[in-house]
Amino acid sequence: MANVVGTPLKRKEDPRLLTGNGRFSDDIQLPGMLHAAILRSPHAHAHIKKINAEAALKLPQVVAVYTGKDLEGKIGPIPSSWLVPDCNLKEAPQYPLAIDRVRYVGDGVALVIAEDRYAVRDALDLIDVEYEALPAAVRQKEAMQEGAPLVHDDIEHNIALHWKAGEIADEVLESAEVVVRESFYVQRVFPSPIETRAAIGEYNPGSGELTLWCTSQNPHIHRMVLSGVLGISEAKLRVIAPDMGGGFGGKIGVYPDEALIGYAARDLGRPVKWIEQRSEHFTASNAGRDEVIDVELYGQRDGTLTAIRVKNTANLGAYLSTMGPGVATIDFGLMITGAYDIPHASCETFGVYTNTTPTDAYRGAGKPEATYQIERIIDLYAREIGMDPVELRRKNFAPKEAFPYTNAQGLIYDSGDYEKPLQKALEIVNYEQLRQEQEEMRKQGKLIGVGISTYVELCGFGPSKVAGAIGFQGGVWENSTVRVHPSGKVTVYSGTSPHGQGHATTFGQIVADKLGIPMDDIELVFSDTRAISMSWGTYGSRSTPVGGAAVAIAADRVVEKAKKIAAHELEAAADDIIFESGIFQVKGVPGQQRTFQEIAKAANMAWNLPEGMEPSLEAQSFFDPENFVYPFGTHIVVVEVDKETGEIQMKRYVCVDDVGRVINPLTAEGQVHGGIAQGVGQALWEGAVYSSEGQLLSGTLMDYTLPKARFFPPIESSFTETPSPVNPLGAKGVGETGTTASIPAVMNAVMDALKPYGVKDIDMPLTPEKVWRVIQEGEGN
């Protein structure tokens, strides 16, 4: 079998999951297992005066109660993994349990361990904590003001970091004929995977090994960080990510909870399980976004854009999360020019501590925010100079001939042809006609809007030396082993850690093509630090361009060795062996051939190998890409706004994405759909609401609206293919493109619909109430 790359194969993982044979964290049952729960602070900011756990400890099933003081000196603080340089970064220590002060609603105060999961929750209620409430800093701009409550006493104005990139000369700004200014708020949202977080620890006192099953998108990062926090050798700490019901960035982070479970399992010598409650998830799991973005776009009346100046004030929450500091700085600030050849750019980011749950990467991590501000301000600029928003975009696109293209902030976009998906999307949606229809409808009093976003995003981080230079406390390479068994069946080990993306299928396709064997002969192994030496996990849409590339390289190495064995058996030179569709054949001599399976057997038996060749057929690769990859595309949304109710209905959603070579069009399209759902969710429905005291008012699924399938029109998705030169697959990531592109596309559509009312911006989410108010005000009511 060959040529399955590019074919829309159904996901190989689904039959197992759909028939209930998945093994998620809560399915894990170990003999003698105890259950854990974490008492969390109800205050956003308070001193802990006293903790009395006597009543809880009297419950017969309760085994232990730990407080922050009990653990002092025994477990280290949880470090951030992205120490962005040159920004005066101030990292406040985050201990696994608060010691004398809680800093957000949800901050851990005590860990309770009991024989069963009911007793453990009963025990939580019996712990008496005396707090002295303190004023809270909640919103970032207010938290920076003189006199605002300090989240950490020694960090002035709550400023965790102040980062700058790019400078613009005064003459450039002064020579602009047009300046458009706007302040956008990309609100805080919750990743909300179907499965909440979980951890199960098991300690073997004989071997001194600790095994931790946890909902991690990157088990090796968990192992690396937790080995330091728990003071255990990486060789004695095994981290396994079981099947996972999604992550969306929320399971990248190394959390206090996982450290606590590892600690308790070791301390008590019995397995301990912790499953996060849904309501707990809202306050104890990292949130996404929460950035106030002030933008100024400069240019000429003819639509030539000359400069963009951006200030981002980011709410980092009470502590620096694993990736948090990098999201609003590097990920955001280097992408502010988007797909446009704007020669001058500058970005300044303030990262601010507040008494709220920490924020971290959430699908897109910085890129949706960067894309939002540029795609929104470009629409406002088009409006200002009376130009069609498509024309303005076209006029300023980084031209196809300029690739690899260096943007104003110094990033080198690997490959691009922005006109291609734009043209295709315009044709699909029939843009000219759509605009005419819109005019007609407006005359009839109907509010139809057309929104466009021509995005580019950065993903598939690499190389590792760049990661080091930008303060990432890890590498960004990937690792794979392709092991061929005597029968010719194959096990592939990959360091990426899929949790819904379909790597077993996609990577299987890559190997099937390389080795010319059926998909069913290939098994994939992921997510276990004992099986895979080292890796950096799944996030930043890196698995295909980096992990998939590592798989392809390892498979190529297998073929290289197999060719030598075939040449030896066929008494030919290795260069004369052609390998096609699983058959090794001597060039020009039909019939002189060996199958892949025959060579697999020969390699493993080692009865007749070339002189000096080692037995077996197995290869490993470590791939460190030379650059990031930059997928791009065009999303066009048509909406209708109901004048009477402010409700928004999406009439059409057309997207044309270019993610380089598409490995599996079906799973890739699934990724686009999922990404769009989360982006549209941000634009229209989702949003964390905090009171001025720091209480989360949207902490249940009754108060926080997640997108539902029925809210969407059919998504008309297609691809163009502009290969990436930075990996052997020519592939770019697709996991986040839908989110990045859709937020401004939907907003632009609604703002276009509301154009008759002169409104330029409304804070997301665009709830019917907000939209209705704008219409009422516009109509002079």
Binding window for ligand MCN (CB under 6 A); candidates: 274-282, 292-300, 493-501, 707-715: 493-501
Q: Whose CB is nearest to ligand MCN?
A: 500
Residue 109 or 672 having the CB closest to ligand MCN: 672
CA distance 116 to 78: 28
CB of 498 to ligand MCN, least distance (A): 6
CA distance 168 to 183: 20
Residue 149 or 665 having the CB closest to ligand MCN: 665
Residue 229 or 549 having the CB closest to ligand MCN: 549
Site for ligand MCN in 182-201 (CB under 6 A): 193
CB of 729 to ligand MCN, least distance (A): 7
CA distance 74 to 66: 12
CB of 722 to ligand MCN, least distance (A): 11
Choosing from 416, 500, 681, 694, the residue that interacts with ligand MCN (CB under 6 A) is 500
CA distance 230 to 77: 9
Residue 542 or 601 having the CB closest to ligand MCN: 542
Evaluate the omega torsion of the peptide bond into residue 404 and state whether it is cis, within 30 degrees of 0: yes
Closest CA to 247 of 289, 201, 291, 285: 285
List the beta bridge partners of residue 28: none
- Residues 552, 556, 562, 567, CA torsion sign: positive
Residue 6 or 135 having the CB closest to ligand MCN: 6
> Is residue 694 at the binding interface for ligand MCN, with CB under 6 A as the rule?
no
List the beta bridge partners of residue 8: none
For 249, list phi and psi in degrees, rounded to 5.
100, -25
Binding window for ligand MCN (CB under 6 A); candidates: 177-185, 369-377, 580-588, 726-734: 726-734
Choosing from 541, 585, 740, 742, the residue that interacts with ligand MCN (CB under 6 A) is 541
> Is residue 543 at the binding interface for ligand MCN, with CB under 6 A as the rule?
yes
CA distance 288 to 746: 19
CA distance 559 to 424: 39
CA distance 454 to 339: 7
User: Are 332 and 291 spatial neighbours (Cβ–Cβ below 8 Å)?
Assistant: yes
CA distance 568 to 239: 42
Choosing from 201, 219, 242, 249, the residue that interacts with ligand MCN (CB under 6 A) is 249
Q: Give the three-class secondary structure for 380.
A: helix
CB of 133 to ligand MCN, least distance (A): 36
Which pair of structure tokens corresponds to residue 147?
């006199």
Which pair of structure tokens corresponds to residue 744?
């401004």
Choosing from 270, 273, 424, 503, the residue that interacts with ligand MCN (CB under 6 A) is 503
DSSP state letters, 736-751? THHHHHHHHHHHHHHH
Question: HSE-up of 72 (CA within 13 Å, CB side)?
Answer: 6
Choosing from 502, 633, 738, 744, the residue that interacts with ligand MCN (CB under 6 A) is 502
Count of chain residues binding ligand MCN (CB under 6 A):
35
> Is residue 216 at the binding interface for ligand MCN, with CB under 6 A as the rule?
no
> Is residue 363 at the binding interface for ligand MCN, with CB under 6 A as the rule?
yes
> Is residue 731 at the binding interface for ligand MCN, with CB under 6 A as the rule?
yes
Residue 453 neighbours by CB distance under 10 Å:
32
Residue 109 or 551 having the CB closest to ligand MCN: 551
> Is residue 735 at the binding interface for ligand MCN, with CB under 6 A as the rule?
yes
Residue 563 or 635 having the CB closest to ligand MCN: 635
CA distance 97 to 69: 8
Residue 139 neighbours by CB distance under 10 Å:
19
Residue 241 or 517 having the CB closest to ligand MCN: 241
Binding window for ligand MCN (CB under 6 A); candidates: 127-135, 541-549, 614-622, 697-705: 541-549
User: Are 275 and 213 spatial neighbours (Cβ–Cβ below 8 Å)?
Assistant: no
> Is residue 6 at the binding interface for ligand MCN, with CB under 6 A as the rule?
no
Residue 96 or 253 having the CB closest to ligand MCN: 253
For 331, list phi and psi in degrees, rounded to 5.
-60, -40
Choosing from 544, 698, 717, 740, the residue that interacts with ligand MCN (CB under 6 A) is 544
CA distance 429 to 635: 10
In Å, how far from its chain's centre is CA 97? 27
Residue 126 or 672 having the CB closest to ligand MCN: 672
Q: Tokens 């295709």, residue?
A: 424
Q: CA-CA distances (angstroms) from residue 143 to 34, 92, 104, 569?
A: 41, 16, 14, 74
CB of 497 to ligand MCN, least distance (A): 9
CB of 217 to ligand MCN, least distance (A): 8
Q: Name residues whose C-beta falls within 8 Å of residue 430's C-beta, 6 or more positions apart in sequence.
A: none
Site for ligand MCN in 642-681 (CB under 6 A): 659-664, 667-668, 671, 674
> One symbol per residue from 283 to 312: x for binding ligand MCN (CB under 6 A), - otherwise; what is it?
------------------------------
Binding window for ligand MCN (CB under 6 A); candidates: 66-74, 539-547, 650-658, 742-750: 539-547
Beta strands in 402-472 (DSSP E): 405-406, 412-413, 447-456
CA distance 309 to 176: 13
CB of 663 to ligand MCN, least distance (A): 4
CB of 363 to ligand MCN, least distance (A): 4
Q: Which helix (H) or strand (E) holds 400?
A: none
Residue 66 or 362 having the CB closest to ligand MCN: 362
CB of 361 to ligand MCN, least distance (A): 7
Residue 278 neighbours by CB distance under 10 Å:
11
Residue 451 or 679 having the CB closest to ligand MCN: 679
CB of 324 to ligand MCN, least distance (A): 15
> Is residue 538 at the binding interface for ligand MCN, with CB under 6 A as the rule?
yes
> Is residue 247 at the binding interface for ligand MCN, with CB under 6 A as the rule?
yes
Question: HSE-up of 369 (CA within 13 Å, CB side)?
Answer: 35
Which pair of structure tokens corresponds to residue 25?
């964290």
> Is residue 734 at the binding interface for ligand MCN, with CB under 6 A as the rule?
yes
> Is residue 707 at the binding interface for ligand MCN, with CB under 6 A as the rule?
no
Choosing from 736, 748, 751, 771, the residue that interacts with ligand MCN (CB under 6 A) is 736
How big is the CA angle at 332 (ends 541 and 724), to the nearest 5 degrees? Answer: 40
Binding window for ligand MCN (CB under 6 A); candidates: 140-148, 441-449, 499-507, 634-642: 499-507
> Is residue 324 at the binding interface for ligand MCN, with CB under 6 A as the rule?
no
Residue 248 or 340 having the CB closest to ligand MCN: 248
Binding window for ligand MCN (CB under 6 A); candidates: 117-125, 387-395, 411-419, 496-504: 496-504
Q: CA-CA distances (angstroms) from residue 197 to 68, 279, 286, 460, 535?
A: 21, 12, 11, 25, 21
Q: Tokens 């501000």, residue?
A: 373
CB of 87 to ligand MCN, least distance (A): 24
Choosing from 96, 219, 488, 540, the residue that interacts with ligand MCN (CB under 6 A) is 540
> Is residue 202 at the binding interface for ligand MCN, with CB under 6 A as the rule?
no
Choosing from 539, 579, 630, 704, the residue that interacts with ligand MCN (CB under 6 A) is 539
Q: CA-CA distances (angstroms) from residue 47 to 70, 95, 99, 157, 499?
A: 17, 15, 9, 20, 39
CA distance 397 to 340: 4
User: Which residues of this protein are in contact with ligand MCN, per CB under 6 A?
Assistant: 193, 246-249, 363, 499-503, 506, 538-544, 659-664, 667-668, 671, 674, 731-736
